[in-house]
């Protein structure tokens, strides 16, 4: 966990792969609990620290997570994140094949299986399904992997992982959705790279960017990025 931005109202962290956002059957300490301990120590707070969670990231995913530091600001953030056109999220995903098009908008209908903690995608509406939409762009390739930049238009369970699988693209390390072997850290190469929204109190536009994890594959792509060898359209 790395703190990227903090003020009196919100704190934004760069979540590591494997850190759990909400408590699960493992009983592992949650990221909000870790952030609470950080704030308690930083400000020498004698009592409990308040922290609200307006959105989520899957456990194996890395990247930006926004948390509310006051009960007053949490409902405002909840409203922002529920109204998708007020929050722009950009993800990076490392996949095993080059996509069929340089850029495309994907629409599928997703059904979540609660028992399996997995979602399934379909090209036509089915009972109980929800529309999922994203736009991807292929920005770089290395010897065995390809980097996609993804803009989410909806926020469905495992949406990016499911929709890319519909194109026979598998995120590195994502055994659940078809990649052939796990990553050493049991995470996946899906990273919440950038988030943009109007600050709920200051009413200023916030644009926050997080570096991907430090590993061989991400580092190869970051070399290309820093050397301006990514496709030059709206890169972050």
Q: Which two tokens stand for residue 11?
A: 């704190």
70, part of any domain = yes
pLDDT of residue 86: 85
Q: How far apart are alpha carbons 21 and 122 in whole angstroms? A: 28
Does residue 22 register a pLDDT over 90?
Answer: no
Query: What pLDDT score was predicted for residue 231?
Result: 67
pLDDT band at 36 (very low <50, low <70, confident <90, very high): very high
231 assigned to some structural domain: no
Residue 141 lies in a domain: yes
What values do phi and psi take at 18, rounded to 5?
95, -20
- The answer, yes or no, to whether residue 233 has pLDDT greater than 70, is no
Is residue 135 over pLDDT 50? Answer: yes
Average pLDDT, integer, range 131-147: 96
Task: Count structural domains, the chain.
Answer: 1
- Tell me if 236 is assigned to some domain: no
Instruction: Encode pLDDT of 182-228 as tens digits.
Output: 998 889 999 999 999 999 999 999 999 999 999 999 999 999 998 88
The mean pLDDT of the chain is 93
- According to the model, what pLDDT value does residue 27 have? 77
C-alpha distances (whole Å) from 188 to each of 1, 3, 5, 20, 121 are 16, 21, 24, 14, 20
Residue 234 lies in a domain: no
Query: How far apart are alpha carbons 46 and 146 in whole angstroms?
Result: 49
Return the pLDDT at 234: 45
Percent of the chain at pLDDT > 90 equals: 85
Q: Which residues contact 118 (CB under 8 A, 6 or more apart)?
A: 112, 158, 176
Q: In the structure, how many helices (H) and strands (E) does the chain have?
A: 4, 10
**Dist CA 94 CA 158 (whole Å):** 15
Q: Does the structure show a pLDDT above 60 at 69?
A: yes
| CATH code assigned at 94 | 3.30.2350.10
Answer whether residue 93 is part of any domain: yes
Would you state the pLDDT for residue 2?
Answer: 94
pLDDT in tens, 5-14: 999 999 999 9
Q: Which domain holds residue 209?
A: 2-226
Whether 232 maps to a domain, the answer reads no
pLDDT at residue 73 is higher than 80 = yes
Residue 206 lies in a domain: yes
Rounded mean pLDDT, 61-88: 92
């Amino acid at each position: 966990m790395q703190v990227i931005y903090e003020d009196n109202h919100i704190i934004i962290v760069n979540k590591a792969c494997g850190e759990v956002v909400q408590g699960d059957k493992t009983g592992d300490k949650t990221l909000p609990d870790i952030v609470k301990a950080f704030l308690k120590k930083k400000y020498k707070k004698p009592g409990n620290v308040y922290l609200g969670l307006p959105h989520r990231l899957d456990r194996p995913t890395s990247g930006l997570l926004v948390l509310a530091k006051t009960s007053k600001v949490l409902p405002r953030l909840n409203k922002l994140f529920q109204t998708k056109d007020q929050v722009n999220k950009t993800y990076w995903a490392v996949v095993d094949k080059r996509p069929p098009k340089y850029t495309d908008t994907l629409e599928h209908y997703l059904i979540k299986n609660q028992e399996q903690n997995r979602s399934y995608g379909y090209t036509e509406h089915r009972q109980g399904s929800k529309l999922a939409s994203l736009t991807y762009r292929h920005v770089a390739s290395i010897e065995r992997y390809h980097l996609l930049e993804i803009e989410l238009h909806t926020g469905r369970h495992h949406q990016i992982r499911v929709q890319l699988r519909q194109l026979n693209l598998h995120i590195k390390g994502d055994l659940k959705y078809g990649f052939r072997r796990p990553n050493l850290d049991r995470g996946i190469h899906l990273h919440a790279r950038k988030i943009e929204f109007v600050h709920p109190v200051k009413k200023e536009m916030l644009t926050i960017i997080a570096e991907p994890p430090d590993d061989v594959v991400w580092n190869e792509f970051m070399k290309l990025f820093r050397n301006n060898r990514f496709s030059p359209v709206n890169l972050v």
